Amino acid sequence: MTETIRLAHGSGGEMTSRLIKEIFYAAFGGDVRDANDSAVLELPRGRTAFTTDSYVISPMFFPGGDIGKLAFCGTVNDLASVGARPIALAASFIIEEGTTFEDLRRIAGSIGEVSRATGIPVVTGDTKVVDKGSGDKVFITTSGVGSIPDDIDYHPRNIRPGDAIIVTGSIGDHGYCITALREGIDIKSAVTSDCAPLHGLVEALWPFGAHIRAARDATRGGVGMVLNEWAMQSSRGILIHEERLPVKDEVAGGTALLGLEPIYLANEGKMLIAVSPEKAAEVLDCIRAHPAGADAALIGNTGDDKPRVVLETAWGTQRLVPVPRGEILPRIC
Amino acid sequence: MTETIRLAHGSGGEMTSRLIKEIFYAAFGGDVRDANDSAVLELPRGRTAFTTDSYVISPMFFPGGDIGKLAFCGTVNDLASVGARPIALAASFIIEEGTTFEDLRRIAGSIGEVSRATGIPVVTGDTKVVDKGSGDKVFITTSGVGSIPDDIDYHPRNIRPGDAIIVTGSIGDHGYCITALREGIDIKSAVTSDCAPLHGLVEALWPFGAHIRAARDATRGGVGMVLNEWAMQSSRGILIHEERLPVKDEVAGGTALLGLEPIYLANEGKMLIAVSPEKAAEVLDCIRAHPAGADAALIGNTGDDKPRVVLETAWGTQRLVPVPRGEILPRIC
């Protein structure tokens, strides 16, 4: 018989302890004898980045990853977005009664795998169980702390006129992959979710110091949403060039068919970087030299003091890229 | 018409921004123009406590609090359990489509209220929306960071033979209150959830240094579960005296009726403290002098090297207090 999660696994008693030991400690490492209510860390001196995100993606498993890998990488990337080196993560699970141990083990295994690959430990966590119909299999909330070097300050408020906007690779892969999966579209080629940790790529940019103005992983709402937030937060217009946007052929074709725009599709392994014009070319080379940034492109520049995003097409016409409205794609992350 | 949460509120676009601004920034303080993927903190030097917990309590509103206050206090108390002063919290919301703005505003308002009262800010967060039937109104995951003074090290591994066990007040109030509410029992007297932040109480014990061995808020699984964990983690037996357990009359009567034991019921504003025998009386006085600890009691001591919990009744007979098994009370926190 398939072993499944029961309400008793969330009661805080013997079955909760066993679940934590057999699934989570087994995957992440750690010892139940050391468990305490909080992890105790020795953080490097200086500023600390602190972030949290919940993951509710449906389906939980997809080409290129699953909700566990997504949750881990998402929090790593949120730390990297402020220039931090991730130090430790926390993972809290809300599990629906009836979820199989097999699914849970697979998800925990993915987290363990990326944790070992990156050397970033999961140091604390929590498990709650909700009755059938009050959840949807597994929701994960990851939080993280990271250490920011003294000379690093990435924030959209630092963006100045003429700054270059770089995207670290092809856009829309994650959003297209999940949509295609839901719509039953046969993904023939290599388009999988781009779900990946980007802290190494950002660390490679540390030597550029204040020339890097801002960084942001373009998840929900895509590149379109981040650029609008940056325009608003910096009180600057941003002009991007359509033909410079790196979009895989299959994503371009598939999204056209589905009536979606790659610029609004979620990415889970792509960063937007705002950089001073003097260092733009050098930074682009540096990103391209990194395994996670081979397809990076300089897509545009900041301009006048009208906080809006404008896209110039290959024919030279311009159109506004508004803040996305409406549903876009529910439960994409 | 009652305004309710729609899937579009979770899409990361314009409606998400509006929700965050109108509900969360309005309640917690903060400015959307400052928003970034991670909060940036200047933590005091020394060790940092880091913790996370998800809250799925049903019903969301109860006498003495709601899921928002519970989530905030729970994370504060997890930080306090390792002796830390809470510095900042993060709050991530998973909201079911159809949840009313009114409920959400009330929950966010509770968090804002306890945040202002304690001076502990909510510095970052996240909002996800799931389709109707894939969640249950509101789930909250709170995470926190805190600063641990250099001479403080609270961990069950420090527990030694003969140490005194103190509970900071009446046990089972939260668990009984929620159960009574679910069972439709009319709570006539003043039994409400004991949901409260305990960091101030723990800070008052800092001067006792290493005489305080361990602290733990006795939530899910109650005092019975924490004592069993301590017995296991310290490889020590613990003997407690039934007549010394502070239980409110109504909780004693009500739980007898429901076939529940107060020792296994969740508390949300009670700490267990293990303290050296030399300082036990002084620590008890100190706790009782604090507004959150007026009903504190010394309930027992650690003993031999058999890791188990034994309860001595008023008649002098002894029985084992095993690790709780089975469902106990689902979704109690």
A224: Cβ–Cβ under 8 A, 6 or more apart, which residues? A261, A263, A264, A309, A321, A323, A324
Integer angstrom CA distances of residue B246 from B173, B192, B240, B265: 11, 16, 12, 13
Do the Cβ atoms of A128 and B78 come within 8 Å?
no
Do the Cβ atoms of B40 and A7 come within 8 Å?
no
A301, two tokens: 């520049």
Tell me whether A83 touches chain B (CB under 8 Å). Answer: no
Report d(CA A161, CA A120) in Å as an integer. 37
Largest CA distance in chain A: 67
Tokens 């009664």: give the residue. Answer: A97
Do the Cβ atoms of B266 and A12 come within 8 Å?
yes
- Choose, out of A89, A126, A260, the residue to mutate when testing the contact with B (most B CBs < 10 Å): A126
Do the Cβ atoms of B94 and A54 come within 8 Å?
yes
Whether the predicted pLDDT of B166 surpasses 70: yes
Tell me whether A36 touches chain B (CB under 8 Å). Answer: yes
The count of CB pairs under 8 A between chains A and B is 286
Whether the predicted pLDDT of B286 surpasses 90: yes
Select from A14, A50, A56 the Cβ nearest to the Cβ of B88. A50
Do the Cβ atoms of B324 and A14 come within 8 Å?
yes
Eight-state DSSP code of residue A331: T
Per-residue confidence at B53, pLDDT binned at 50, 70, 90?
very high
Tell me whether B19 touches chain A (CB under 8 Å). Answer: no
Whether the predicted pLDDT of A186 surpasses 90: no
Report d(CA A232, CA A216) in Å as an integer. 14
Question: Residues of chain B with pLDDT > 70: what percent?
Answer: 98
Eight-state DSSP code of residue A235: T
Tell me whether A182 touches chain B (CB under 8 Å). Answer: no
Residues in chain A closer than 8 A to B328 (CB atoms): 8, 11-13
| Predicted pLDDT of residue B34 | 74
N- to C-terminal Cα separation, chain B:
31
Do the Cβ atoms of B323 and A14 come within 8 Å?
yes
Tell me whether B83 touches chain A (CB under 8 Å). Answer: no
Among all residues of chain A, which has the CA nearest to that of B86?
A: A38
- What are the tens digits of pLDDT across the range A216-263? 999 999 999 999 999 999 999 999 999 999 999 999 999 998 899 999
Residues in chain A closer than 8 A to B71 (CB atoms): none
Q: Exposed, middle or buried by CB within 10 Å (0-12, 13-18, 19+), for A212?
A: buried
B50: Cβ–Cβ under 8 A, 6 or more apart, which residues? A38, A39, A40, A41, A88, A90, A123, A124, A143, A145, B143, B144, B145
Among all residues of chain B, which has the CA nearest to that of A136?
A: B134
Do the Cβ atoms of A35 and B229 come within 8 Å?
yes
Tell me whether B147 touches chain A (CB under 8 Å). Answer: no
Distance from B78 to chain A by nearest Cα, in Å?
Answer: 5
- The stretch A113-138 carries a mean pLDDT of 97
Among all residues of chain B, which has the CA nearest to that of A41?
A: B48
Integer angstrom CA distances of residue A98 from A3, B276, B289: 9, 45, 47
- Choose, out of A32, A42, A54, the residue to mutate when testing the contact with B (most B CBs < 10 Å): A54
Cβ neighbour number for residue B186 with a 10 Å cutoff? 5
DSSP 3-state of A102: helix
Q: Rg for chain A (alpha carbons), in Å?
A: 21
Do the Cβ atoms of B134 and A131 come within 8 Å?
no
Do the Cβ atoms of B39 and A45 come within 8 Å?
no
Domains of chain B: 7-148 (3.30.1330.10), 156-320 (3.90.650.10)
**What number of helices (H) and strands (E) belong to chain A?**
9, 14
Q: Determine phi and psi for B238, rounding to 5 degrees.
A: -130, 130
Complex prediction ipTM = 0.97
Tell me whether B184 touches chain A (CB under 8 Å). Answer: no
Cβ neighbour number for residue A1 with a 10 Å cutoff? 3
- What are the tens digits of pLDDT across the range A149-182? 999 999 999 999 999 999 999 999 999 999 999 9
Q: Kindly report the pTM of this predicted structure.
A: 0.97
- The stretch A185-206 carries a mean pLDDT of 89
- What are the tens digits of pLDDT across the range B21-33? 999 999 998 776 6
Tell me whether A109 touches chain B (CB under 8 Å). Answer: no
- What are the tens digits of pLDDT across the range A78-107? 999 999 999 999 999 999 999 999 999 999
Do the Cβ atoms of B11 and A221 come within 8 Å?
yes
